[in-house]
Structure 1
């Protein structure tokens, strides 16, 4: 069948749906049929799934003239999704097409939610299309005879590739793809991405550094302008001294009309704790929403999450308070409005969330921005500009993740074993390991067979045996079982299940939060107030409580920071304010309505200090009963500020013996001391230089201690420590102590250990964002430093001060204290 006839099959089906294929869909079909690999970039809700699934089916039809007969057994295509919740949507879309054109294809899902019975059935008879996750694909590679499973696969599609590329899950996929390319030489590798800045690099990471593969690839960009409307919810009364303690709850009355006017509204929060609070407060204020409002986050049990997703599709819910668990790909046609509560910290995240509404070609996406404190309106203004100018973040890929490589090689050894000389060129063809040396590879091989130089006396680290023909193989059933249980790169704190005393599973919660509770304590979870009865066998046993006040769980994943692009846009918005002679005067550039609404804050800020311009770096100092405050404003995000604050405190202490407490947020950082800082001495000694940065950071932040914590994750991924069996997980404090012991051994006796070195590199590159820190220091060195000696805290410094107080005071005492502080400052 020629290409025209093949396209006719697809176009006829589109016509029956009253649709018309987009040019990007046809371009994708064409490229796939020509045998090309590629990356598809198209907006959310524009039909990306059909662009690639139809291409795969057309290729099958081309190779199989009697395509409507029952196909030969075996896997033909793999669809990788980073989130299990997307699998059902993809299954429904792919099934719909093949059923309606008369191809008896079977579509299967394999993820952490798949039952053991279904997995066994798949092993006996694989579906034609398998929708799976990176972790489940690795488990298949750890199965005996995996080469027979994958030998006839013609395509691997990596959905939401931007979600994988900047993580070790992306490295997992790079290694898996390098193996599949060898097993099935005819395979075509494709990625799908809606929101990513560095598209060319994303394609290179997907396809590897092999020149032939890259040359035989395309980058398909959809020329579709998705209409996204951003509406800011501007408080009627603007706090001159803003703080984030109320989490935006004071704007509940502005949210309710949006919920009433829309079929369905998704309210996105940045953390699970915030999600729980908003759900409770909405129900308290508007009890008529009972039965029409639900909550969705990753720690709620699977059954509840699936029920919520289906209820949205069925239009039986008016509102869902959620987290990033509903960020991606799920097609909710009834959703008309999105409310983003608080700054999303990144442009891509904001656009993804906006795309949950109007999730159909040609439909408008509407997103409301609700600030949790006034200064977040600057972020809203920056996001408006990002949407208008199509600005999206780059995703930075990992390099030389040796812990993932160790796990991958043991997976291959667990299945059929491997020959090192065969696998090395495959590994080197990946983007992540393009610079790996033979010496490093030999070290890795020694590590999995002998347990590295300092562990070779212990048999438990000798996992892989070298057989007489040179094959590397795991022959121990116990080693194989433990390895399969621990495949994956997402390392989190130990998770405990939450259950009612009388039965009934509610979800899961992190051990570090529960460890702070005592029996009788009440906490909020899954929209209910629960009283802790006891903790037993990794289960948190609870009963319902009628108490009004309760602790809100916090999750370790709740600490987010600005992306680099978001920081740049925020500074540009702020600089546009500094260009005005006064906020209410005739302006050079018109201000956004968000910035105009902040006029009272900017007027007060100028009265006490300045609003910095593009060539200015602002430092404010003032004295209070707490001591001497010095506040610095790089506007670079909390991770950079944490590092910069510690660096500056260390450098000042070299000039004068002085101790500080450090506080920071996304806008700046504060050094607080009981003695006055000689700021002129700080300026004269050029303490913002990037010279000796790495050395000073190591001393200022105790980088060894940070690397020690980072090493825990590396040790888990590399299988150095075992996290436990499903119903008997090892407590996080035991994991930490085991990994710390190994870290100390390597640090003292094997300093060139690749996993140890990786811990330090990841600490600097990913946790401290050393690259961004250098750029920030370079920018500060080129600016005029403006030091303002203030009498009182300014509107810019107030959120940083109150964040520090949060650590010391309960929420009620904090609110009272801030109310008094605000009243005093308003009088001045």
Structure 2
């Protein structure tokens, strides 16, 4: 069949569905039929699933003219998704098109949720098209004879590539692809990405920078004229001294009309705890929503999540309060309204969520922004402009992730074994390991066979044997079993299953939260008040709470997001525009007029060539507040760095507090700010050395090393139902960390812990750029009589760490009474 005839098959099928293919879909079909690899950039809900499934099926028909009568079973195409929740949707789309063209192609799913019986069936006979996750793909590579399973595969699609790119799961995918390229010579690799800034680099990482696949590749963009509109929910009365603490709940009644006037509304929160709290408060104040409102986040059981997704599709729910679990491409009928609660901290995340409304090409997406405190309206204003200009963040790929490489090599050794010379060439083709030296490779091989220099006396680290012909192979059944159980790069706190005493699985909570409760305590989870009965093994047994006891809302670690570099820049630009005449400002900035006026009483609203430092004295001590507007992670590092540099001039006791907008150095005595500024306080020289001395970087690296130890398999997390507790994992990995620190500082995994701490946690690169920017600005030091509207949120955040909620409320009320007198 000619390309024209193949196109006709697809367009006729689209016509039968009442659809018309978009230019980017047809462009993708052509590129695929021409044998190209590539990256497709298209927004959520634009039909990118059909852009690639159709391409593959048409290619299959082209190469098998008698496809309707003859069918050769075997794996032909793989679709990798980062979220298990998406797999059913993707499989249904593929099956629908394959059946529509009478191809006899079968579609299967292989994820952590796939039943054992289905896996056994797949072992005997693989489906033609397989939907899987990065972890499940690695598990398939541990099967003996995996090369025969994959040898006739002609396509692999990596969905939501922007989500995987800046993570170790992305490295896991890079390594898996390096192997598949060798064993499946006809393989075409395609990535699908929604919102991402560095598209060319994303394609380079996916295909390998120097590879033949990259040289023969296409970058296709869907220009659908997608427009976004941000509607800020502005409070009628604006507090002059904003503070973070009410989760936006003071505006709860503002969202009720939006829910009532829409068929379906998604309320996006940034954390699972905030999701639980909003659901609880809305149901309490508006019981009429019972049966029409649900909750969706990653810790709720799979059945409930699937039920919610289906209910959104058939519009039987009025509202769903959710987290990023619904960010990605779960395809529903378009949702009418989207509400974002609190700053999303990144443009890409915001546009991804906005795209859920008007989830149809050519239709405007409207998103309501509900601020959790007044200054977040500046973020809303910045996001509105970013949405118009389609400005999104870059995703920074990981480099030299030796822990992931060690896990991958063990995977190959568990199945059929590998020859180092062959695998070295494949690994060097990846973006992550292109700069790996021969010496580093030899160290890795030594580590997986002998356990590195300082661990050679311990047999448990000698997992891989070298056979007579030079093949590296795992021959121990227990090593192979433990490895299969631990495949993956997502390392979190131990998750415990929450179950009713009488049976019935509710979801998962983290060990650190539940360890603080005792039997009889009540907590809110999955929209229910539950009473803790007891913890048995890895299960939390509960019953429905009948008492009126105060319920604690379940919370999870890692809930705090930080502003992205792109968002920080937009936020600063927006803040500077508060100095323009009122009529030239956005609606959001105009609403903050009183706050800016109050700010100017004691201080200034900085312009683009000014850097603001505020100082004032209170009964707590001397406050010194700096405003880089760079996000909490950069401020954590910058606060420690400046405190260290100030202490070199005079010995002072400090405490440091920070939020996304700035940081406070609270000292027991006054700092001569002019003296420290004259001593190059903001210089980027000696940054790395000063950071190491200022922060407890060893402690941060020790925590990072725990994850590296788990991913590389040095520390075993336990068997199903007998998972090793988090504190034991921490102590096991700490022991190894200290051995390497004292006896083998050149250990690559030990060095990686420090490198990742500085590159990814402290964002050293961003910190350096921030210092260089500040050095070019005029530094304005304002000696204030009392706290300003800008400093108030930082001060109250510090108090939050020390005081209970009730005491904090009282303390803030007293502070506000004092501050309002001017």
TM normalised by structure 2 equals 0.99
1:469 corresponds to which residue? 469
2:577 corresponds to which residue? 576
Relative to structure 2, which stretch is displaced further, 338-347 or 534-543? 534-543
1:497 corresponds to which residue? 497
CA contact (8 A) 2:227 2:388 kept: no
Distance 1:814 1:826 in 2: 18
Partner of residue 785 from structure 2, selected from 788, 791, 796: 791
1:549 corresponds to which residue? 550
Deviation at 1:334, TM superposition (A): 4.6
Distance 1:48 1:796 in 2: 44
1:672 corresponds to which residue? 666
Residue 105 of structure 1 aligns to a residue whose secondary structure is coil
CA contact (8 A) 1:333 1:358 kept: no
Structure-to-structure mapping, 1:444-459, within 5 angstroms: 444-459=444-459
Relative to structure 2, which stretch is displaced further, 158-167 or 220-229? 220-229
CA contact (8 A) 2:518 2:532 kept: yes
Distance 2:782 2:69 in 1: 79
CA contact (8 A) 1:205 1:431 kept: yes
CA contact (8 A) 2:211 2:429 kept: no
Distance 2:672 2:534 in 1: 53
| Structure 2: stretches of 5+ with no match in the other structure | none
Deviation at 1:70, TM superposition (A): 4.8
Structure-to-structure mapping, 1:529-568, within 5 angstroms: 529-545=529-545, 546-547=547-548, 549-568=550-569
1:635 corresponds to which residue? 629
Distance 1:730 1:232 in 2: 46
Distance 2:592 2:139 in 1: 53
Deviation at 1:127, TM superposition (A): 0.5
Residue 336 of structure 2 aligns to a residue whose secondary structure is strand
Moved over 6 A (4+): none
Deviation at 1:687, TM superposition (A): 1.1
1:317 corresponds to which residue? 317
Distance 2:212 2:148 in 1: 25
CA contact (8 A) 1:263 1:334 kept: no
Residue 670 of structure 1 aligns to a residue whose secondary structure is strand
2:77 corresponds to which residue? 77
Structure-to-structure mapping, 1:149-228, within 5 angstroms: 149-228=149-228
2:701 corresponds to which residue? 707
Distance 2:277 2:437 in 1: 51
- 1:377 equivalent to 2:377? Answer yes
Kindly provide the CA deviation profile for residues 586-642 of structure 1, in whole angstroms up to 9, marking residues without a partner as x: x5xx21100111101001001110000111000001111211111100000000000
Distance 2:670 2:503 in 1: 59
Distance 1:186 1:658 in 2: 66
> What is the aligned length?
821
Deviation at 1:139, TM superposition (A): 0.2
Deviation at 1:536, TM superposition (A): 1.6
CA contact (8 A) 1:81 1:158 kept: yes
Deviation at 1:559, TM superposition (A): 1.5
Partner of residue 616 from structure 1, selected from 594, 610, 615: 610
CA contact (8 A) 1:377 1:595 kept: yes
Distance 2:734 2:163 in 1: 30
2:517 corresponds to which residue? 517
Structure-to-structure mapping, 1:332-347, within 5 angstroms: 332-347=332-347
Distance 1:69 1:351 in 2: 46
Q: CA RMSD in A?
A: 1.0
CA contact (8 A) 1:166 1:397 kept: yes
Distance 1:218 1:326 in 2: 29
Distance 1:260 1:795 in 2: 35
2:269 corresponds to which residue? 269
CA contact (8 A) 1:579 1:613 kept: no
CA contact (8 A) 2:334 2:356 kept: no
2:598 corresponds to which residue? 604
Structure-to-structure mapping, 1:223-302, within 5 angstroms: 223-302=223-302
CA contact (8 A) 2:449 2:465 kept: yes
Distance 1:294 1:417 in 2: 48
Relative to structure 2, which stretch is displaced further, 67-76 or 143-152? 67-76
2:638 corresponds to which residue? 644
2:811 corresponds to which residue? 817
- 1:773 equivalent to 2:774? Answer no
CA contact (8 A) 1:529 1:547 kept: no
Kindly provide the CA deviation profile for residues 224-282 of structure 1, in whole angstroms up to 9, marking residues without a partner as x: 11122211101111110001111110111110000001111010100011011000000
Distance 1:150 1:790 in 2: 69
Relative to structure 2, which stretch is displaced further, 192-201 or 622-631? 622-631
CA contact (8 A) 1:412 1:418 kept: yes
Deviation at 1:532, TM superposition (A): 1.9
Partner of residue 591 from structure 1, selected from 570, 573, 585: 585
Relative to structure 2, which stretch is displaced further, 332-341 or 145-154? 332-341
Deviation at 1:79, TM superposition (A): 0.2
CA contact (8 A) 2:75 2:149 kept: yes
Distance 1:705 1:320 in 2: 40
CA contact (8 A) 2:107 2:129 kept: yes
Distance 1:13 1:770 in 2: 52
Deviation at 1:504, TM superposition (A): 1.9
TM normalised by structure 1 equals 0.98
Residue 532 of structure 1 aligns to a residue whose secondary structure is strand
Deviation at 1:286, TM superposition (A): 0.7
Deviation at 1:557, TM superposition (A): 2.1
CA contact (8 A) 1:6 1:62 kept: yes
Deviation at 1:362, TM superposition (A): 2.5
| Structure 1: stretches of 5+ with no match in the other structure | none
Distance 1:212 1:624 in 2: 65
